[in-house]
Structure 1
Amino acid sequence: MIRRPLHAWLAAIAAVLLPVVATAQEAPPLLHAMFSDHAVLQRDRPIRVYGEAPPGASVRVELAGRRVRARADGDGHWEATVPALRAGGPYELVATAGDRSQRVRDVLVGDVWLCSGQSNMELQVWRALDARAEIAGAGNDRIRLFTVPQVAAVAPRATFDQPVEWQPVSPESVREFSAACYFFARELQKHVDVPMGLVEAAWGGSRIQAWTSAPALRRLGRYDGELDVLDRYAVDPVGAVGAWGELWQAWWSGLEGIAADDRPWEGEGGGQWRDAPAQLGAWEHWGVPELADFNGMVWYLTTVELDAAQAAQEAVLELGPADEIDMTWVNGVGVGSTYGAGAGREYPLPAGLLRAGANTVSVNVLDTWRDGGLAGPASAHALRLADGTRIPLDRGWRYRVVPPDLGDPPRAPWQSAAGLSTLYNGMIAPIGRYGLRGALWYQGESNTFEHAFYGDLLRTLRSDWRERFGAGLPLLVVQLPNFGAPPTRPTESDWARMREAQRAVAAEDDATGLVVTIDIGDRYDIHPTNKQELARRLARNARHVVYGEAIPPSGPVPRSVARNGDAVVVEFGDASDGLVAYGADGPIGFELCGQTQDSCRYATASIRFDRVTLQAPGAHAATRVRYCWADSPVCTLFDGAGLPAGPFELPVPPMIDDDHAR
């Protein structure tokens, strides 16, 4: 063994420890996390640069030979505005405050796009068509990628709580990135030859309410109670959950057909209760015909016996995963609600809630897609006491199926993808007021059950994001594609109603584009993989809406409806190279309808120039014309450029009384 003098050992230890201490004491970055190596900044407009510094500090910002100053406010926030730059680079961005300095390298100036929505926007390149070749061939230093971490929050975040970075396109960086977003920029760059920066902020299964700020939602006047609970949840989560349980109970008790004494959160009251299988798990696999293909709500109920000493302790209710949303009560008091099938639940119980003897645990599970229910076995669910005792809830569960026609329950406002403002707070607010050229929005599947309100929600999101990122922010909306079984007769459709809401909102605003995808969905898969064609249509739409090119943005659009004797005539605009019908002499997919839901009839259609003439039995009495009206409609009207006419419903002018006209 080699012996060292004491001072040598101390010197060696110091050599190891001092860098660690220095690192721990390093000041935080001056620049916000959006400003990092390889960033893209928005061209042709003043560039907002922001970050954190000591309160009152003077901050100097340098970019492309331009120097500006800002002063940090009392909370340390600062923002400077660099004069507009044309597309170009690479540059260095430098921020200096006193003896502190931060240098960001390889910065480009071009067009920056926010790509947001749910799973079809999130769908990665490795899941898209021809993925192996797309990944292997990816390499473009002038397209940069930024992925916002998936974080839900009950209050707006000032920045990200996870490491983030800009990355040039490469096989490694593009693999997990949004296919729709990446392919869009690649296609657009063929026509707009500038660097592209892509900011992906998407979450599968998310509702539009989660992407909208709380102040914006309050302006709608529909969510005040839920938002009040959300405010309370930020400071008193246990109390807020109890208050939410009362709101949920009020919803249930207000349903038509629910008796006053039907309170399943307290025990078996109304309805038919049966024994659940001991292994629990997805109810589709229980062998119960009623549940073999059931999407909706099922109540679960069990009891747990405690002695006085156990009941006096603090406790946490453990539940295994629930697919996909649970609302849970203990002894009639709401204790938790979570969205997502992948993780278990842990709900702290309010003090004094438990009692000696029998305690009731009631769980309402809502499933909207594929398998649903509480995961098994029963031992996965338990009461965990403060002394470490774990009491499994394995005495047997009872269940009750809720008729689907009772509707969908309210969602707890703090839920990640199904809540209110949670993804705005955790994923949009942390971006700050970064300069954008526009936003792509692919969402709606999770809101089809509330299509009647979606138009107002989409308008609210649009104005909300414009308040943050700039007035007139262009928004390109992807209309929902076809999905599900094709119809054999005219039918009502939540998906069709959702598409109509999207169409109406886009039609009222010149800076909002609508991208029709009714022909590139997959009737067997809610996640169609042909994101390349989607991207081509998005890029075409952007060229018209954002860059002002004189090209039709997205296929034939209905301009007017008129009568011609017993026929109805629809005139179209925005058709490149005229109207064509695929696979038949005339297009199919048109319906003529009266006032009632069951009055629609398929119409025979013929094309002449830019008009489609419709004939059907009772056409003289039609008050509405519909096209492509089903979850997965068969419709064959296109233009010469191969772009489809999109779904719509429009009124038919009333018949003119000849005697009255004279």
Structure 2
Amino acid sequence: MRRLTSGLLAAALLAGPAAAQDLLNALFADHAVVQRDRPLPVFGTARPGETVTVAFAGKTATTTAGGDGAWRLDLPATPAGGPYDLTASTPSRTQTVRDVLAGEVWLCSGQSNMELSVDRANDAWNQVNNIAANDSLRMVTIEKADARAPRAGFGKPPVWKPTSRETVGSFSASCYYFARELQKTRTVPFGLIHASWGGSGIEAWMSPAALRKVGGYDEAIATLNLSLTDPVAANRRWGETIKAWWTARHPTETATAPWTGSGPWTPAPKGLGVWERWGVPDLASFNGVVWFKAEVTLTAAQARQAAVLGLGQIDEMDATYLNGVGVGATSGAWLDRSYPLAAGSLKAGRNTLVVSAYDTYANGGLYGDPSKRALTLADGTRVPLEDWTYRIEPRIGADPPRAPWDTLAGVSTLYNGMLAPMGPYAHAGLAWNQGETNVGRDQTYAPLLTAFMAERRAGQAADLPVVVAQLASYGAFATTPSASGTAALREAQRRAVTADPHAGLAVTTDIGDPFDIHPGNKQEVGRRLALAARRIAGEAVTTGPAPVSARRVGDTVIVAFDQIGGALVSRGSDRVIGFELCDPAGTCRWADGRINGSSVILTVPPGSTPARARFAWADSPTFNLFDSAGLPAVPFELEVR
């Protein structure tokens, strides 16, 4: 038996004050599935020092709650089966959850392509209305929640639901179809824990400790931690970060920097609203940063007061300055901005308010009820913010950095809000579908994914399988060999998975949609994720042609493949298309290819010295290399040896 120590894990398990009724972590609930065939951690919160006894499937164990009330014990392994009752008791109370099964528990996580539900995917009506109820496949969705520190518990208790016509439609399609496919060969109960948030970056799902191991996140983590103890200082610090970003782009224009209020400003329409509807050609389809300015004049008596700065909703991120000092930054188009100002923040006379509104897609700007834009002083005086002006930030160089507390693109925010409350709830594996938000940051993605997989294994089996859905096709076709941020991110995913003996890749480039970042064929995504899981488990299945090497032989480059189901095939032609050969300077040219057994032989263009070979290198690549099992070849870039 083990007593849970204080620290991050203990914080994750603290479900509330000692008077709370639940002894068990909220994932232990009616209809839950717990992990089979390995020691079962059971944990929760009791009164400090209380003896806690747990009974499950004919097994009993006892431990003592720590000084913070957190407790944990490990029950002996239970084979697949049930249903059982799980009971935790102390001298002061007892909690029993019923209809608990032992089986395979999988965590499904990522961004919108994991979040996309069955009722929004292809063949939705048929899949929902003709489903056979399956009590041995149970699902739970974790409520969306972000936090700047590990949450003490779930804001909304998770609810386990058996699969039925009434429950499956709103659940993750990729996760459901993945488990449905696996259950064809593993006739045991399955429990699916779904924790996703559309638009999220991988950094948001990782703890500060994991990010520190990758490196490069110390400043962001320090600013995030500062926001917990001194939010005013943290906002000021973040304001300086945005200033540094702007100054690097405009090194000779600091005298007219936006936060100073100087420089050229254009009157904005009364009431503001999303800028795409202003009738300004330059803003009709603009995604990027627009700076807004308003001024307010105060008396000396007014300026001495504390105040609250209200800005209403901003689509989708802001960095806000008062008299050149950062006072707030928020991400989320649905959120009203309300920034407290300590006494001394204002000054007698004219005060200049500047807001950087950063929009990445669709509508942007300060929208919603204009009456919410006001400065409210401590004595109740309300000063409306009117007569706004604006200036458009040129789209040059890198986009602005995101605040470390940004819900979706910050550091550790979703780890804190959605993963940490799960504590050490045992599971069999992880299905991960994420990466779109990290496009453009491919150089850091492979080490981040490696560290993320390692962190998800901490406290679980050391060989916990991780299956990763590679990015699907979306965006531009390639008419000439060229750079592609999406292709580079796919390559980072491939490298991280290839280097991990307990990870597998599901290739989806052939079932994407160039015009929709959310392709609907999630049944095939689930099937390919299941193939990857089965291969990791040692089953005799293949997951699609994967490159092994690229060798220069005379006037050819021979690319060897493994993981071929049957044989390599080129669809629609006796030639293989989609390959490029790149010289040491980075100039790439299409390469003619022919299949020879388990290899593709590429002809080296005359006068070329190939240094790298790459395949399916575009946002939406055109290619025809598959295996006879119908699986596409993995997009890749390899050094030519």
TM-aligned CA deviation for residue 292 of structure 1:
3.3
Give the equivalent residue in structure 2 for 1:11: none
User: Residue 352 of structure 1: SS of its match in structure 2?
Assistant: coil
In 2, distance between residues paired with 1:601 and 1:286?
A: 44
Which of 246, 252, 269 is residue 252 of structure 1 equivalent to?
A: 246
TM-aligned CA deviation for residue 147 of structure 1:
1.1
TM-aligned CA deviation for residue 259 of structure 1:
3.7
In 2, distance between residues paired with 1:130 and 1:55?
A: 52
Give the equivalent residue in structure 2 for 1:631: 619
Task: State whether structure 2 residue 75 is matched by structure 1 residue 113.
Answer: no
Task: State whether structure 2 residue 340 is matched by structure 1 residue 348.
Answer: yes
- From the superposition, tell whether residues 113 and 307 of structure 1 become closer, same or farther in structure 2 (CA, over 3 Å): same
Give the equivalent residue in structure 1 for 2:82: 89
Q: What letter corresponds to residue 217 of structure 1 in structure 2?
A: L
In 1, distance between residues paired with 2:212 and 2:143?
A: 26
In 2, distance between residues paired with 1:204 and 1:258?
A: 39
User: Residue 72 of structure 2: SS of its match in structure 1?
Assistant: strand
Which of 395, 398, 401 is residue 407 of structure 1 equivalent to?
A: 398
Q: Is the 8 A contact 2:265 2:389 kept in 1?
A: no
Give the equivalent residue in structure 2 for 1:134: 127
TM-aligned CA deviation for residue 315 of structure 1:
1.7
TM-score (norm 2): 0.93
Give the equivalent residue in structure 2 for 1:422: 413
Task: State whether structure 2 residue 361 is matched by structure 1 residue 373.
Answer: no
Q: Is the 8 A contact 1:117 1:203 kept in 2?
A: yes
In 2, distance between residues paired with 1:619 and 1:640?
A: 35
Which of 25, 37, 44 is residue 51 of structure 1 equivalent to?
A: 44
In percent, how many aligned pairs have the same letter? 51
In 2, distance between residues paired with 1:436 and 1:652?
A: 40
TM-aligned CA deviation for residue 279 of structure 1:
4.5
Q: Is the 8 A contact 2:557 2:604 kept in 1?
A: no
Q: What letter corresponds to residue 292 of structure 1 in structure 2?
A: A
In 1, distance between residues paired with 2:446 and 2:56?
A: 42
In 1, distance between residues paired with 2:124 and 2:607?
A: 48
Give the equivalent residue in structure 2 for 1:431: 422
Which range moves more in the overlay, 130-139 or 45-54?
130-139
Q: What letter corresponds to residue 631 of structure 2 in structure 1?
A: L
User: Residue 82 of structure 2: SS of its match in structure 1?
Assistant: strand
Q: What letter corresponds to residue 429 of structure 1 in structure 2?
A: A
Task: State whether structure 2 residue 391 is matched by structure 1 residue 393.
Answer: no
How do 1:645-656 residues align onto structure 2 when only pairs under 5 Å count? Answer: 645-653=633-641
Give the equivalent residue in structure 2 for 1:320: 312
How do 1:176-215 residues align onto structure 2 when only pairs under 5 Å count? Answer: 176-215=170-209
Is there any run of 5+ residues in structure 1 with no aligned partner, and where?
A: 1-23, 654-662
Q: What letter corresponds to residue 391 of structure 1 in structure 2?
A: V
In 2, distance between residues paired with 1:278 and 1:537?
A: 53
Deviations 1:512-554 (A, max 9, x none): 1111111111111111111111000011111111x210211x2
In 1, distance between residues paired with 2:110 and 2:60?
A: 37
How do 1:436-447 residues align onto structure 2 when only pairs under 5 Å count? Answer: 436-447=427-438
Q: Is the 8 A contact 1:251 1:409 kept in 2?
A: yes
Q: What letter corresponds to residue 577 of structure 1 in structure 2?
A: G
In 2, distance between residues paired with 1:290 and 1:649?
A: 38
CA RMSD of aligned residues (A): 1.9
Q: Is the 8 A contact 2:221 2:404 kept in 1?
A: yes
In 2, distance between residues paired with 1:570 and 1:526?
A: 30
Give the equivalent residue in structure 1 for 2:330: 338
Q: Is the 8 A contact 1:304 1:395 kept in 2?
A: no
User: Residue 101 of structure 2: SS of its match in structure 1?
Assistant: strand
Which range moves more in the overlay, 164-173 or 505-514?
164-173
Task: State whether structure 2 residue 158 is matched by structure 1 residue 164.
Answer: yes
Deviations 1:305-338 (A, max 9, x none): 2233332332222223222211111111111111
Deviations 1:451-479 (A, max 9, x none): 11111211121122222434232211111
Is there any run of 5+ residues in structure 2 with no aligned partner, and where?
A: 1-16
Number of residue pairs matched? 624
TM-aligned CA deviation for residue 612 of structure 1:
1.1
TM-aligned CA deviation for residue 160 of structure 1:
0.9
How do 1:560-571 residues align onto structure 2 when only pairs under 5 Å count? Answer: 560-571=549-560
Which of 39, 43, 55 is residue 32 of structure 2 equivalent to?
A: 39
Q: Is the 8 A contact 1:278 1:397 kept in 2?
A: no
- From the superposition, tell whether residues 52 and 589 of structure 1 become closer, same or farther in structure 2 (CA, over 3 Å): same
Task: State whether structure 2 residue 485 is matched by structure 1 residue 485.
Answer: no
Q: Is the 8 A contact 1:113 1:439 kept in 2?
A: yes
User: Residue 486 of structure 2: SS of its match in structure 1?
Assistant: helix
TM-aligned CA deviation for residue 594 of structure 1:
1.2
Which of 147, 160, 163 is residue 141 of structure 2 equivalent to?
A: 147
Which of 505, 509, 516 is residue 514 of structure 1 equivalent to?
A: 505
TM-aligned CA deviation for residue 258 of structure 1:
5.2
In 2, distance between residues paired with 1:391 and 1:618?
A: 73
Greater Cα radius of gyration, structure 1 or 2: 1
